[in-house]
Amino acid sequence: MILIELRKLFGRPRTWLTIALLDLLPTIVAILLAITHVGPRPGQGPAFLSAVLTNGSLFAVAALAIVLPLFLPVAVAVIAGDAVAGEAQTGTLRYLLIRPVGRTRLLVAKLVSTFAFVAVAVVIVSATGYVVGRIFLGHGSQASLSAAVTSVSGSSLTPGQIVWRTIITIGYVAFSMIGVAAMALFLSTLTDSPLSASIGALAFLIGSSLLLTLDAARALLPYLPTRYWLSFIDLFREPILWRNVERGVALQAIYVAVLLGAAWANFATKDVKS
Amino acid sequence: MITTQGLTKRFGSVLAVDDVDLDVRRGDIYGFLGANGSGKTTTVRMLLGLVLATSGSVRLLDEPMPKAAGRVLPRVGALVEGPAAYGHLSGRANLMLYDAAGPSSPGRSRRTRAARVDEALETVGLGGVGRRPVKAYSLGMRQRLGLAAALLAEAELLVLDEPTNGLDPQGIREIRELILQLHAAGTTVFLSSHLLAEIEQMCTRVGVLDRGRLVLQDELDAIRKPTGRTVVRTPDAAAAVALLDGRVEMREGDRLVVRGSDAASLNALLVGRGLRVAELAPERRTLEEIVLEVTSPEPAR
């Protein structure tokens, strides 16, 4: 069943169009930076953009930072929100269940295929970021392949350090997105409309981002799902500041566990009337 | 094949299905009748484990549902409330995915999948549509595709909800012949419909659902037993009334309803007196009359 779900998801032109659109924004940013050489002032704009002007190999991470606040969650919420509600809307859900496919098995297959989408999307975005960074920015400066990159803390990072820190970043961003996927999947088992599920999940995230900026909501801060999303920047400090990254992973794990538990409890006993 | 006991489903304050005891036997073509909104589809969904009963029990192929769904459902083919398919894929690709989704059983092994899919498409008359995506199909073609999916399993029991919906007269006739053919080959058919004519033409047993309650369940022949009267059409109606004297119960133009079930001797009597007979037959009640009699006249909630 998992293989079938993967085939259904990645056999669909829509999936690849979404990923292509995700790649488009960082590519445009890279081209603009290469032409103008005007980076955002320190402390403003997406992370790493000032750093990439001197070395394009950091653009893989910068690309993730560009799509992370809005584009990536939207894409993940659309795909995950469609998982169960989409089948309900087309009516194929009832036929899958009487084929029969066990409800838990179907949910697990949907979960795995959604996570696969998250992983593929994040890896492709950072790979594209790396390639366009090297093409447009890597040669634009005097930096050669072996040149050290300046970390966020000001000290230098070797290319080797950058590679493994980038890999951890990809994993961290993917895990953050799995929280979004779990939310959308849970809502997807509640409604027969994929649109409602996706928008519901996005409303949850936008609400969380909004509260982050509100001083009065300080007590809630450590529990907001988007609180630690951008903490992967800490991975590029010297030495690495693990605290927020660890908290981010723990918080996401709790959200994922609770939401998936709720999704399973709801779907396993639901009357399928679609 | 299907037995339910006290099957009840409540949605909030609405009692959709109320204490239904279905009894479908092996070899039946069972017609499940009811107005729109009478609870037919909810009952069918409970039989298949899609909707969970509030109380009561379902046994399908002598196993409890939905507990034994994994063992029972591979032996059941079903069409529930219209067909459904992935619009961007062809009919064939849809069936391949659908067949691969469930457990493989002796009738549904992986090796024979492509051949079985092609055969099912051929059976429902979709053999020649090629790679066109389902979103370009007409309603009738989608209905046929839904039937093909139900036929894939070579099931012992077919549960068909409105199988001829959206088909033209030609298509309805083809599907009817297909169902009769499958029945002759040993498949039990549970046919849910609001089309009385369809049920009357095919079914051996009927159940009538009215506002969630099963108000009638019997052999079709037993329900439609002769009424003990004979219907005669004759151009010499006035003379016939005079001849038969008090035996004519009703006269509508040249149509007479005569007391007595012996059509042959009535015919001999009329013809012997030189009266012309255009049509003569024992009166049977139509399914429509019976259904209207047992169901309540007000529209369903």
pLDDT for the residue numbered B131: 87
Give the closest of B49, B73, B84 to A92, CB-based. B84
Sheet with B213-219, side-by-side order of all strands: B76-79, B157-161, B188-193, B29-34, B205-210, B213-219
State how far the Cα of B200 lies from the Cα of B191, in Å rounded to an integer. Answer: 11
Q: Which H or E element spans position B93?
A: helix B91-101
Alpha carbons B166 and B180: distance in angstroms, whole number: 20
Q: Is the dihedral of CA A242, A243, A248, A251 positive or negative?
A: positive
Asked if the ipTM is above 0.95, the reply is: no
- Helix and strand numbers, DSSP H then E, in chain A: 10, 2
How far apart are the CA of A25 and the nearest CA of chain B, in angstroms? 28
User: What residues contact B270, with CB distance under 8 A and at least 6 apart?
Assistant: B232, B234, B240, B243, B277, B280
Tens of pLDDT, residues B179-238: 999 999 999 999 998 888 888 889 999 999 999 999 999 999 888 888 888 999 999 888
What is the reported pLDDT for A142?
A: 45
Which positions in chain B touch A95 (Cβ < 8 Å)? 80, 84, 98, 149
What's the rounded Cα separation, in Å, for the pair B299 and B301?
Answer: 6
Query: Do B190 and B157 contact (CB within 8 A), yes or no?
Result: yes
Could you tell me if A56 and A138 are in contact, meaning their C-beta atoms sit under 8 angstroms apart? yes
| pTM for the full predicted model | 0.87
Residue A222 DSSP label: G
Q: Do residue A8 and residue B86 have CB atoms under 8 angstroms apart?
A: yes
Give the strand pairing for B157-161 and B76-79.
parallel
Asked if B76 and A98 come within 8 Å (Cβ–Cβ), the reply is yes
Which helix (H) or strand (E) covers residue A85, if one does?
A: helix A71-90
Residue among B51, B52, B86 minimizing CB distance to A92 = B86
Rounded mean pLDDT, B55-84: 92
CA A130 vs CA A56, A125, B189: distances in Å: 7, 9, 61
Q: What is the mean pLDDT of chain B?
A: 90
What percent of chain A is modeled with pLDDT above 70? 90
- Give CA B67 to chain center in angstroms: 27
pLDDT over 90 at A251, yes or no: yes
What sign has the CA pseudo-torsion B91, B92, B93, B99? positive
pLDDT band at B129 (very low <50, low <70, confident <90, very high): confident
Question: What is d(CA A269, CA A87) in angstroms, rounded to the nearest whole number?
Answer: 17
Residue A12 in contact with partner chain B when CB distance is under 8 A:
yes
pLDDT at A259 over 80: yes
Residue B295, H or E segment: none
For the cut 60, the answer to whether the pLDDT of residue A108 exceeds it is yes
- Mean pLDDT of all residues in A74-80: 95
The pLDDT score that the predictor gives to residue A151 is: 67
Axis-axis angle for helices A103-132, A59-67 (nearest 10): 130
Longest dimension (CA), chain A: 64
The helix/strand/coil state of B39 is: coil
Q: For chain A, say whether B73 makes contact (Cβ under 8 Å).
A: yes
CB contact at 8 A, A197 and A188: yes
Could you tell me where the beta strands, DSSP code E, fall in chain B?
2-11, 14-20, 23-24, 29-34, 55-60, 63-65, 76-79, 157-161, 188-193, 205-210, 213-219, 226-233, 248-252, 255-259, 279-284
Q: Look at A98 and B78 and tell me if their CB atoms are within 8 Å.
A: yes
pLDDT in tens, B131-190: 899 999 998 899 999 999 999 878 899 999 988 888 888 888 888 999 999 999 999 999
Kind plus residue range of the DSSP H or E element containing A150: strand A149-150
